[in-house]
Structure 1
Amino acid sequence: MSDAKNLVGRRVLFIAPRFFGYERLIKAELEAKGAQVDYFNDRPGNGFFTKALIRLDRRLLARKTDAYYRDIIESTCSKTYDHVLIVRGEAISLKMLRLLRQSQTKAQFSLYLWDSMYYNPNARKLLYEFDQVFSFDRSDVEKNSKVQFLPLFYGHEFERSAQWQGTPVYDACFIGTIHTDRYKVLEKVLDSLNARGCSVFVFCYYPSKMLHCLRSLFDPGFRRFSKKYISFTGMQLSDVVDRIAESRAVIDINRPDQLGLTMRTIEAVGARRRLITTNADVVNYDLYNPKDVLLMCRDNPVVEYDFLEQDELPFNPTLREKYSVSNWVYCIFNESGAKAI
């Protein structure tokens, strides 16, 4: 499944967000398979306001963003790439994408969406400029025949969790960014676990101190929650791996309108830890087994301790390989015509 011969010696232009090191993980996997990779951030800056303005409406930073992509095109036009992979496609304009295509006429262009198009409307404008498009969200695939379904992935670091043989420190852990109604649902999950005497590790990242202050001002519940759990510094991946290794289960709370399985869900598979999730679409995946995956209601999430007391590790090697970063790269760059998952 993860034959890498088709990438040996190939040149890849890789444009993706800087997001908790996942862009480095993809780049490292491509290079491990023999590719020569040039990476660029998908935005002209990684500060909060640059991200926020692009997300609100990319036209607010159109001039700056187009100038940034012109620089990328000019700095890479002397090279001939075999592949151009763009992740998310939130910042690049249709005009700049077409100029990039004109400068790399021999390259296969691929787009991967790790946020659904519901949260990334710019991607809808770009779809037909790509040779292939993948999304982690089944609803994107159902709405557009151009899009192939390809779930997210876990990195090789999670082998350390899978092979960890110590006594569990926590019954469950939650590690994630706080957005939408996530903190309210998480509070209910924690209440259910605490009522059963469970030990839970909680790490909640918030990307902006200014927005945090505004939200705290108008939402007393958030203000109370944040004093206990919020951090403005992200957790290193190695620490994420360690906390998951020490836990019996991983808690996942998806966005209200998102079907795609989150990175943390797939990492639970890689780490061989049970999954507690609010994502109802999980039942449509081959990783779903009621013994290993507990589906909760967002409004009244209940976690029974019996679910956490099982000793046998979940998720077999064949299933785990399917959701590895190695197989993810294979699905996107395989030139033999194999389809994504």
Structure 2
Amino acid sequence: MKICLISFDFWHYDEHIVKKLNEKGIEACHINIGAFTHKNSGERLKNTFSKVFLGKNLKYHKRQDFILESLEKIGRQDQILVINPEAIEERIHQKIREYTDRNIAYLYDSVARNPVKHLLHYFDTVFSFDDEDVKNFGFEKITNYNYLDYLPAAKQSPKLDLFYITSHDKKRLSILNTLINKLEPLNIKFEVITAGKKSWKNQLIQIFDTKNIEILKFRTKNIPHHSLPYYYKNTKVILDLMRCNQTGLSFRIFEAMALEKKIIADNPAIKNYDFYNPENILILNEDFSNIEKDFFEKPYEKLPDTVYYKYTLDNWVNTIFKLDK
């Protein structure tokens, strides 16, 4: 069987799908739009000139053509999976459709955040992690997946009580400052890493305003994807804050599952899942007044094996590509 994955794999989650398919003996390849780069500094300069003076991003258009060039090289596929198809022009989707009998989409962002309705007719099956979108558009429901190897809590020695890593976001920073104030009387060891180009402003502010400087860490470069488990192993609990207009579960929920970490989250939809256990997962109320010290002190309660497997990448690829049928 030949399967092709097409995605803009900025955070390097999607590459695990191809690896898992290869492990199953499937001829799988990945057209990673995000990996496309300029051939030389001359092309890079040309693209900069075009964006500034002509308002046209040449790199964007070359990335679109890169998809077609890659498909021409690998030929017809038994199945193609496109993740977050809104990043791809409709003319490209028309061509992708010609290369397979089963064209699949997976949306791990909400339709409210990334409109995709104009592309849905190109797909045989559309999966979504967002409950509202599943209800409103009739998509197939599937969550993100646990791609990490299982590591029980007993084999870890975390130094932090709570950890959070996030991209730069003003709303989240406001929430975090409120949360820090609530946690202070509990004497909780809390650390936040905020990564993104705009973080330099906060780094500058912290030179003059050192409030919460031991908790809030700002960096302009993203944390490499392969380094995330290192940070998560060093904490008892992982914080997870929702994006606006989104009810789907982030990858943090499943990374925490693999490492037996508790979760503090503001997404009430988590209560609807079979892995929800109030001993392991605390859903914040509006004023964060339900955070108590004993949540951090009580041990993680192990999930049943059947529930754990349901959210693994192995089960995810079997479901998406119908490998068990």
TM-score grouping bracket, smaller chain normalisation: 0.7 to 0.9
Aligned partners of 2:213, 2:58: CA distance in 1, in Å? 36
How far is 1:214 from its partner?
7.2
1:27 pairs with 2:18: yes
Corresponding residue for 1:137? 130
How far is 1:225 from its partner?
7.1
Aligned partners of 2:289, 2:301: CA distance in 1, in Å? 23
Aligned partners of 2:26, 2:17: CA distance in 1, in Å? 11
How far is 1:223 from its partner?
10
Alignment check: 8 A CA contact 2:8 2:33 kept: yes
How far is 1:304 from its partner?
0.6
**Structure 1 unpaired stretches of 5+:** 1-9, 48-59
Q: 1:70 aligns with which of 65, 68, 71?
A: 65
- Higher-Rg structure is 2
Corresponding residue for 1:247? 235
Alignment check: 8 A CA contact 1:185 1:299 kept: no
Aligned partners of 1:86, 1:292: CA distance in 2, in Å? 33
How far is 1:165 from its partner?
2.0
1:98 pairs with 2:90: no
Deviations 1:65-115 (A, max 9, x none): 45533342234235121111111112212221012212x1x4311111111
Corresponding residue for 1:88? 84
What TM-score does the superposition give when structure 2 sets the normalisation length? Answer: 0.83
Alignment check: 8 A CA contact 2:163 2:239 kept: yes
Corresponding residue for 2:103? 109
In the alignment of these two chains, the number of paired residues is 307
How far is 1:333 from its partner?
0.5
CA RMSD in angstroms, aligned pairs only: 3.1
Task: Read off the aligned partner of 1:247 and give its amino acid letter.
Answer: T
Aligned partners of 1:19, 1:168: CA distance in 2, in Å? 28
Aligned partners of 2:118, 2:201: CA distance in 1, in Å? 33
Alignment check: 8 A CA contact 1:174 1:252 kept: yes
Alignment check: 8 A CA contact 2:182 2:288 kept: no
Alignment check: 8 A CA contact 2:237 2:262 kept: yes
1:199 pairs with 2:206: no
Corresponding residue for 1:50? none
Aligned partners of 1:201, 1:259: CA distance in 2, in Å? 25
Alignment of 1:168-179 (within 5 A): 168-179=158-169
Alignment check: 8 A CA contact 2:113 2:245 kept: no
Kindly tell me: are residues 241 and 316 of structure 1, through their superposed partners in 2, closer, same or farther at Cα, counting changes over 3 Å? farther
SS in structure 2 at match of 1:265: helix
User: Which structure has the higher relative contact order (CA within 8 Å, separation 6+)?
Assistant: 1
Kindly tell me: are residues 19 and 173 of structure 1, through their superposed partners in 2, closer, same or farther at Cα, counting changes over 3 Å? same
How far is 1:135 from its partner?
0.8
Aligned partners of 1:302, 1:177: CA distance in 2, in Å? 26
Alignment check: 8 A CA contact 1:252 1:264 kept: yes
Alignment check: 8 A CA contact 1:11 1:81 kept: yes
Alignment of 1:197-276 (within 5 A): 197-206=187-196, 208=197, 211-212=198-199, 228-276=216-264
Kindly tell me: are residues 204 and 148 of structure 1, through their superposed partners in 2, closer, same or farther at Cα, counting changes over 3 Å? same
- What percentage of aligned pairs have identical amino acids? 24
Kindly tell me: are residues 300 and 75 of structure 1, through their superposed partners in 2, closer, same or farther at Cα, counting changes over 3 Å? closer
**Structure 2 unpaired stretches of 5+:** 39-54
Q: 2:114 aligns with which of 110, 120, 129?
A: 120
